[in-house]
Amino acid sequence: NYKKKVMVVSLDVYRPAAQEQLQLLAETNGIQCLPIVEKQQPIDITKRALNAANLNGSDVIIFDTAGRTNIDEALLNELRSIFKLTKPTETLLVTDAMIGQESINVAKAFSEYVDITGVVLTRVDGDAKGGVALSMSSTTGKPIKFLGVGEKVEQIEVFSAKRIAGRILDMGDVVGMVEKAEQEFDEKEAEVMAN
C-alpha cells in the first residue's frame, strides 16, 4: 500500500497566525509543511514551494490560500496568479455551510476567477442541515466532494447525496449510522475471534 508524500503550504499571509496554525496541524498529523519565511508574499511562497517539492520528492502539494468571506478582487486576482503558476490537478473551494447565501456568492465569484473542480463544505454538523450544498453545486456547476462534520482531520467525509438528503429532510444520517454500526460490529467480531 503506497502512501503519497504530501507537503502543505500556507499562502495565507493575511490572517494572523494562519501559517502557524497550518504548520501545527501538519506536525500533529505527521505531514510535511513548507517552513515559514517571515514577510514572504504568496507568489514567492508558491515558487519556493514548487522548488522545495521537486527537491524533497513530494508527490502532492496542497496550497492553502487565504480565506474569502466576501468578494475581494485583489485576493481573487492573487488566486488567479497562483492558479496559473501551479496548474493544479484539483482546485477545491472550501466554504462554511453556516454562512449560507454569502458562501454561494463567494463560490460564484471564485469560480469566475479559477476553474474549480469541486467544493468542500465545512461545519455541516450541528444545526446546519447542508441545504446550502444544493445551491453551491448548482451555482458552481461542480460537485461537492467532501463535508467537514467536525473540527478534527478525521471528521472529513466523502460527500454522499443520500446522506445530505437525509439531513435536509430531518431524517438524520441513516447511512452513516448503519456504516458506524457495521464498523463497530466488525471490530467486536474481530475481538471475539482474536480471543
What's the pLDDT tens digit per position in 138-187?
Answer: 778 888 899 888 888 888 888 877 766 666 666 555 556 566 666 666 66
Put simply, whether the predicted model's pTM sits higher than 0.85 gets the answer no
Query: Of 131, 129, 159, which Cα lies nearest the Cα of 145?
Result: 159
pLDDT digits over 46-79, tens only?
999 999 999 999 999 999 998 766 678 888 899 9
**Dist CA 64 CA 12 (whole Å):** 7
C-alpha cell at 33: 509543511
